[in-house]
Amino acid sequence: MMVELLSGFLPWSDFHHDSITEVRAMKEHIRTNEGVNLMFQFCPKVEFRRLLKYLDGLKFNSQPDYTFIAELIQLAMKNNGVKMDEPFDWEE
């Protein structure tokens, strides 16, 4: 969701929802270097790669460490000069 918010799209957005095979192939491609560069071209790459690696390591029934995720997002904001009190683009 954050990638879509920051970049305005997801690489598999144009696929039909019933095209599970195409969406799966695109999500697998995202795990390659070329795919990561495409996916995170408008995002903080270092932190988002780390987040993707963490999420990929979770099991289906794992409880995500939301504190870790929030801290990683806050680190991405800090490293990219984003302040929590700044208005969103659509609020300006």
Q: Is the pLDDT of residue 2 over 70?
A: no
Side chain identity at residue 71, one-letter code: E
Q: Are the CB atoms for 30 and 39 separated by under 8 Å?
A: yes
In the structure encoding, which two tokens stand for residue 64, read together? Answer: 């995500």
Angle at 11 between CA 7 and CA 12, to 5 degrees: 135
Q: Which domains does the chain have, with CATH numbers?
A: 2-91 (1.10.510.10)
Residue identified by tokens 């995202």 is 30
Q: Is the pLDDT of residue 70 over 70?
A: yes
Distance CA 63, CA 20 (A): 25
Quick: pLDDT tens for 22-59: 778 878 888 888 888 887 887 888 898 899 899 999 99
Angle at 36 between CA 34 and CA 40, to 5 degrees: 125
